[in-house]
Chains A and B, each alone.
Chain A
Amino acid sequence: MHIHKRTFGDWALDIFVYGFMIVLGLVTLLPMIHVFSKSVSSDWALVSGRVDLLPVGFQLDTLATVVTSYAFGRAFLISAIVTSVGTLLSILVTAITAYPLSKRHLPGISFIMVLFVFTMLFNGGLIPNYLLIRELHLINNLWSLILPAMISVFNMLVIKSYYEGLPEALEESARIDGARSYTILFRIILPLSMPVLATIALFYAVGFWNDYFSPMLYISDPALKTLQLHLRDVVMENDTANAINRSADDLMNMSPESIRAATVVASTVPILLVYPFLQKYFIKGVLIGSVKG
């Protein structure tokens, strides 16, 4: 390292850079801190508008009421089921489909590839999709949230390019021994592709968990509402007691604002808990996807 004298310009740049990042970080955190403080502040402090950044009159009753409410628990469970079943099936089908498509020398594969990629550029649109789901009698059926989302062409391309980077020799020796392609796929290719499969599984999981559009279109039965639909009911409706299925008496000391804040917090916590994994794997996925795909 050569010695570099810090000039006035260096100092000015550093002050700007650090200042900018601190402001950016604060702007990102502020809405979350504010809502969190509201969810754990006492109702009188909330109603009199005294909660800005820090909790006033700390209490956990509202959060406890929200989390233990029947509607929240049911919605949480339904989202968990859709996310786990959906992710499992999606990753399976996507990983299987990507394998033949990585064999570009086989006749017809490039044509089938075009069929897949074309759907990234053009789609039928909202109404034809809705009419199809209705024809299939999947309205108010949780499969309507899973089946249409099961194959994401983008994710498939990422996995395909990973397969293409694996050494050819591994497969060939298995083929000489007479192994069929599904044996090769499940015994050799998939175990070697665990890093990319984990990343794509998380892509799918976050997609299923956060999906609001499909449940809004296809689910109207209250018993099948996902967490995002439930959250929207609480956030948009004035009658929060009704939205969380509690009688007004139970909620004597809880204003709609505090219930709203507590529901938002309770729905954010699961994401924050898995965020360290998400951050690590997602960045990898974004970078693989940008190199090829």
Chain B
Amino acid sequence: MNEWITPLKEKAERNDVLRKRGSRRRLVWRNIDTYLLLVPGLLLLLLFKYIPMYGIVIAFQDYNIFDGISASEWVGLEQFRKLTHSAEFMQVFANTLLISIYKIVLLFPIPILIALLLNEIRFTAFKRTVQTIIYMPHFLSWVIISGLFMTILSPSDGLVNAVIQWFGGEPIHFFMDNSVFRSVVVFTAGWKEIGWNAIIFIAALAGIEQEQYEAASIDGASRLHQMWHISLPGLLPTIILMFILRLGIVLDAGTEQILTMYNPTVYESGDVIGTYVYRTGLGKMDYSFSTAVGLFNSVIGFILVVSGNWFSKRVLKRGIW
């Protein structure tokens, strides 16, 4: 029976394709007014996102402003060779990874803990007050935060050094000392964002069914047990997803933050890829080299985000896109 149905089916399908092609064009034409609404957004996208991507070609040139992209000399991978042989860049790369890893290891778990603990508070006025206070620093700019901490950490009249001296210690020059500068960067990043980053976990906890807690409580489980066996497993998918997202930006150690805090005495410990690109590119006008550094950074970031998303989709059945 199938033998004579097949040719008929094929014919029908071919007609279908032809009709679809025609109707596609008609569909576009009929909705041309909708497509026109894309024009301003697309123009901005092309001008400010895709043209700079084309500008990356100067990483393979010995670019100078007078000749421009079209007339500058092509040097192939020369800039990248320079990069891998630069001791300065290796130091910068190490600083970036160190600061980023400190931030992840020390700061990633705290918002989860905050969410778990806030979940135990039944006294709502207290809970709301705490939330209002700890979300606030998120809205302050890095320049303001630098100003706040340069004041409180000041060696001459800051509160922290007053306490250190009261205990008989020597005042610490927090923003001038290579042995503590990274700690200042990590601590201030935490001060700004740990409260805010807890929001997503608080929302995930609110999604856990209340019956689970009630059942456990009737069975005699303590609140600590409930936290460990109900709340934490309920948070796990969110924790893994946020962790993957966080790893994707491991090479951004906080460029804007460090730019507002550092000075030449702490370049040794605090100069990261983002600030280095700025210093060599705009400071020393070494455009091609710093574009190569930036490209190196973007490519690794891209690979990390894409593979993280792939992993998340396979393991969690949930991705960012």
Write the residues of chain A forming the contact surface with B, with a CB cutoff of 8 angstroms: 2, 4, 7, 9-10, 13-14, 16-18, 20-21, 24-25, 27-32, 34-35, 38, 46-47, 49, 51-53, 93-94, 96-97, 99-101, 103, 106-108, 112, 115-117, 119, 121-132, 147-148, 150-151, 156, 180-182, 185, 206, 209-213, 216-217, 228, 231-232, 234-236, 257, 260-261, 263-264, 267-268, 271-272, 275, 278-279, 282-283, 286-287, 290
Option from A4, A53, A130, A279 in Cβ contact (under 8 Å) with B159: A53
Bound CA–CA A286/B50 (angstroms): 28
Bound CA–CA A24/B277 (angstroms): 36
CB proximity to A under 8 Å, residues B203-220: 203, 217-218
Whether A49 and B38, one on each chain, are in contact in the complex, defined by CB atoms closer than 8 angstroms, is no
Residues of B close to A271: CB separation below 8 A: 139-140, 144
> How many Å from the CB of B299 to the closest CB on chain A?
8
Residues of B close to A18: CB separation below 8 A: 121, 126
Q: Is B33 an interface residue (CB 8 A)?
A: yes
Residues of B close to A156: CB separation below 8 A: 41
Given contacts A35-B148, A106-B28, contact A17 B120 (CB under 8 A): yes
Whether A2 and B48, one on each chain, are in contact in the complex, defined by CB atoms closer than 8 angstroms, is no
- What are 14 A-B contacts with C-beta separation under 8 Å? A24-B114, A25-B129, A28-B133, A31-B149, A53-B159, A97-B40, A106-B35, A119-B45, A123-B52, A129-B48, A132-B47, A210-B141, A212-B256, A264-B151
Bound CA–CA A125/B51 (angstroms): 11
User: Which A residue sits closest to B135, measured CB to CB?
Assistant: A279
User: Which A residue sits closest to B122, measured CB to CB?
Assistant: A14
Whether A151 and B53, one on each chain, are in contact in the complex, defined by CB atoms closer than 8 angstroms, is no
Q: Is B154 an interface residue (CB 8 A)?
A: yes
Given contacts A9-B223, A34-B152, A235-B147, contact A125 B291 (CB under 8 A): yes
Residues of A close to B294: CB separation below 8 A: 125-128
Whether B259 and A264, one on each chain, are in contact in the complex, defined by CB atoms closer than 8 angstroms, is no
> How many Å from the CB of A261 to the closest CB on chain B?
6
Whether B56 and A124, one on each chain, are in contact in the complex, defined by CB atoms closer than 8 angstroms, is yes
Whether A35 and B295, one on each chain, are in contact in the complex, defined by CB atoms closer than 8 angstroms, is no
User: Which B residue sits closest to A279, measured CB to CB?
Assistant: B135
Q: Is B312 an interface residue (CB 8 A)?
A: no
Q: Is B106 an interface residue (CB 8 A)?
A: no
CB proximity to A under 8 Å, residues B138-193: 138-144, 146-152, 154, 156-159, 162, 191
> How many Å from the CB of A290 to the closest CB on chain B?
6
Whether B37 and A99, one on each chain, are in contact in the complex, defined by CB atoms closer than 8 angstroms, is yes
Bound CA–CA A52/B158 (angstroms): 8
Bound CA–CA A71/B249 (angstroms): 37
